[in-house]
Amino acid sequence: MKTTYTRPFTVLVEGNIGCGKTTLLNYFSKFDEISVVEEPVAKWRNLNGHNLLDLMYKDPKRWSMPFQSYVQQTMLEVHVQPTDRPIKLIERSIYSARYCFVENLYRTGHLQGSEHEVLSHWFDYLTNSPELDLKIDLIVYLKTKPEKALERIRERARGEETGIPLEYLEQLHQLHEDWLFGNKFQVPAPVITIDANQNPEEMLKEYEKHANIIIGASRKENKINETLAKSSVQEIITAAAV
C-alpha cells in the first residue's frame, strides 16, 4: 500500500520564460523520491475548447483577467494535490503568478486597477487561509539573462510564444529579482539560485550539485518531522546539504 503525502517536502522551480525549468524537472523526475508537477499549460490551452494562453498573448488587455484567474485556480490545485512521494517539485507557483506575471500585467496597463485588486484579494485569502496548506520548503531560482531566455524561446518555437519581445522578458526578470531578493513581496521559503545561462552539460553539473540539498532533506523526513517544531526550514536544509 502506497503512502499518500498530503504535506510533502515542497520545492518551487521558478524563473523567467525560457530559463530551462523543463530541463531541470526532467533531471529530477528520475529520482524515486520526487514527484514532478509541471505547469498546467494544457489546461490553459484548452478550457472547454478555449485557448486562454493564446488569447492572452494576442490581446492581453481583454484576456489577462480571465487568464490569470484561471492560472490562480489551476496553480492552487497543483499546490494542494497530494502525492505518493516525499518530495514535490512544482513548476512555478501561485506566488510567482501573483508577484511576477499579474504584477507585470498591471504595471503595463493590461490589467485595470479593479482587476488587480480582485486577483490580489483572492491571492491573499488563499495564501493566508488556515484551511489551506500552501507552505513551501524551498525555492530553486533559475536565474537567466533575458537575452538568453529569448534565444531559447525562439529555438523551441512554441506557437503562443512567437511574438514575445525582449522587453517583456526584461520586465519579468526584474520582477523575479524584486520578489526573491528585493524585499518587495513575500518570499515563502529559502531560495537557491542557479546560474541558468550555461549550456546543457554545465547545467547538468549544477543539478547534480544541488540534488543533495533537495533530496537529502526528504531522506531525513523522520528527523525533519521530529525537529520542525524547534528548527527552522533553513537549518534543516543546511543540515541536509552537509
DSSP designation for 16: -
Catalytic annotation, residues: 91
Which contacts (CB < 8 Å, 24+ apart) does range 147-154 have? 148/18, 148/196, 148/197, 149/16, 149/17, 149/18, 149/19, 149/173, 150/18, 151/18, 152/18, 152/19, 152/20, 153/17, 153/18
Cell numbers 524563473 correspond to 15
